[in-house]
């Protein structure tokens, strides 16, 4: 399976620390060596980096590790291929434009024989993940010609995710730059860092950061990951079927598609 990492923050924040841990799992401490990608939202724009090479040895990943790109919403993915060959076209996260916004998506899991229904959004690559993304966008676009309110979007997303969860493993990160939608069917955890900040120790590499030196008392930063990235902090596991909508590092809404 692949691994996911997302971030929601109330101030532009870099993910250098968390990414340093995740990239080790891309072929060094983990088997996820079939490509990686990351998307940073900056205002209405999104800055994306992809590489079908193993993350731990990727020169592009090393740039991201050292370059403090600041964002309020980030989606990252390291791939262990199970559907679709190793290629740039099959590397998450995937991005499409809808209602004048860039939507970005990453998926962990597998739904056999999944294809996107009719609509303007169709996969470029050959993964079930990209087909799931296109299906979500096609449903939103066919239901709403113009961008609806957040509750309508959530209703459509959770309705679709309930169907997906019944068909297979479907852990999801999805953002339109304003919020981060997360779904767990098997494994996902989160941690929210806020004042008083303290030190954090990565699990996959000898690196400690004292966040008190890099934050203000008003900062709120939530990191979501398939597996906890630090060894000295208390991460909160999602329940099977649980979804959360994050904005500014806080949970706006939550529910369960299996309930």
Backbone angles phi, psi at 71, to 5 degrees: -155, 160
Looking at residue 2, what is its pLDDT? 85
| Beta carbons of 65 and 72 less than 8 angstroms apart | no
Looking at residue 31, what is its pLDDT? 76
Which residues are tagged catalytic? 2
Predicted TM-score (pTM) of the model is 0.96
Query: Which domains occur in the chain, in start order?
Result: 3-256 (3.60.20.10)
Q: Taken in order 208, 212, 44, 158, is the CA torsion positive or negative?
A: positive
DSSP 138-158: HHHHHH-SS---HHHHHHHHH
Mean pLDDT by 10 residues, the chain (259 residues): 93 95 84 89 96 90 91 93 80 97 96 91 95 97 95 97 95 98 98 96 93 94 97 97 98 96
């Amino acid at each position: 399976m692949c691994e996911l990492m997302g971030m929601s923050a109330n101030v532009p924040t870099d993910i250098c620390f968390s990414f340093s841990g995740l990239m080790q799992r891309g072929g060094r401490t983990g088997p996820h060596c079939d490509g990686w990608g990351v998307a940073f939202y900056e205002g209405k724009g999104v800055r994306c980096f992809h590489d079908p090479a193993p993350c731990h040895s990727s020169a592009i990943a090393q740039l991201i590790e050292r370059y403090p790109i600041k964002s309020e919403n980030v989606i990252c993915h390291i791939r262990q291929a199970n559907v679709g060959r190793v290629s740039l076209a099959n590397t998450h996260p995937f991005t499409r434009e809808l209602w004048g916004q860039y939507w970005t998506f990453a998926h962990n899991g597998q739904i056999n024989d999944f294809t996107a229904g009719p609509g303007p959004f169709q996969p470029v690559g050959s993964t079930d993940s990209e087909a799931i993304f296109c299906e979500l966008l096609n449903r939103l676009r066919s239901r709403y010609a113009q961008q609806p309110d957040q509750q309508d979007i959530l209703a459509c997303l959770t309705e679709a995710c309930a169907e997906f969860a019944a068909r297979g493993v479907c852990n999801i990160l999805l953002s339109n730059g304003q919020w981060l939608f997360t779904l767990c069917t098997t494994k996902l955890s989160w941690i929210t860092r806020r004042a008083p900040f303290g030190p954090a120790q990565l699990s996959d590499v000898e690196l400690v950061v004292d966040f008190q030196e890099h934050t203000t008392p008003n900062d709120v930063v939530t990191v979501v990951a398939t597996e906890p990235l630090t060894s000295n902090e208390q991460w909160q596991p999602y329940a099977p079927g649980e979804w959360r909508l994050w904005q500014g590092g806080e949970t706006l809404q939550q529910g369960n598609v299996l309930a």
